[in-house]
Amino acid sequence: MKLPDKIDQIKSYLIQNDFPEEIEAAIILGSGLGDFSTTIDEPFSIPYNQIPGFPHTTVTGHSGELFTGTTKGHKIIAFSGRFHHYEGHPLETTVLPVHLAKAFNAKKLIVSNAAGAINTRFKVGDLMVIDDVFRIFQKVAPAVSQPYRYNLGPVADKVRSIAASIGLEVQRGTYLYAKGPSYETKAEIRAFRVMGTDVVGMSTAPELIEASRLELPAAAISLVTNMAAGVLNQKLDHSEVKAAAESRKDDFAKLVTELIDRL
């Protein structure tokens, strides 16, 4: 399937600057999860603002660097920061990491995010494997509006099995994609719970849908960084994201490392 012309240009620039020509896996690191980059062997990075044709990221918790190196001997690239639709980026731009992963012939894509828990059985710090996505009243661009052709369920089963083998307990459930940037209201969260969703966030769904279109195998993990509006009687605060990510950064890194090697 044809990729946007600028993807070849970006890939050529990266290869000229010591990136490999092919990789095993690409990882998109969500808010507060950029510390995974410190676990990469022989890391090398380029700031987004130095890559021709690359957008910038403006969100707290996203450093805005593209890393390469190896993990368990596998060549990888890792996006420390993503491009959200609510920042003003068109949906075609939000899926640029997926396009670049495909251009580098990645065998797998691992997507992560920070999310708010709708499911009252979840708690802050939980890692949840996404086995389905839900888009509520969202307009999507033609490039990311193709049928969702593969089922995340079997992938979620395998991720949970791998997690269990290294002593990690993970949840699984449905991720609700909301445009943002405002948090959802209490009434909306009550409605989303009735609809059967488990966590809510402002990314990931376009990336998974585009990976499906490109037939790029993908797994997705949410870190529960806060309880959604109305679940607890307290004000939502972005600082919660940093605290929750700090508490689980080692477990997250262990899991992603194993997924790169075994998924």
Active-site residue numbers?
A: 31, 62, 84, 86-87, 114, 202-203, 226, 238
Annotated ligand binding at 17? The verdict is no
Annotated ligand binding at 31? The verdict is yes
Whole-Å CA distances, 204 to 15, 84, 109, 148? 26, 9, 12, 14
Measure the CA–CA gap between 256 and 251, rounded to whole angstroms: 9
Annotated ligand binding at 62? The verdict is yes
Annotated ligand binding at 84? The verdict is yes
Annotated ligand binding at 63? The verdict is no
Spatial CA neighbour of 201 closest among 220, 219, 183: 183
Residues 174, 107 contacting (CB under 8 angstroms): no
Q: Where are the alpha helices (DSSP H) in 21-117?
A: 91-94, 96-103
Tally the residues of the chain.
263
The burial of 95, by beta-carbon neighbours within 10 Å (0-12 exposed, 13-18 middle, 19 or more buried), is given as: buried
Could you tell me which residues are beta bridge partners of residue 109? 26, 218
Q: How many CA atoms lie within 13 A of 44 on its CB side?
A: 12
Annotated ligand binding at 82? The verdict is yes
Annotated ligand binding at 248? The verdict is no
Q: Residue 106 is which amino acid?
A: A
Annotated ligand binding at 222? The verdict is no
Annotated ligand binding at 226? The verdict is yes
- Residues flagged as binding site: 31, 62, 82-84, 114, 184, 203, 226
- Residues flagged as binding site for phosphate: 31, 62, 82-84, 114, 203
- Residues flagged as binding site for a purine D-ribonucleoside: 184, 226
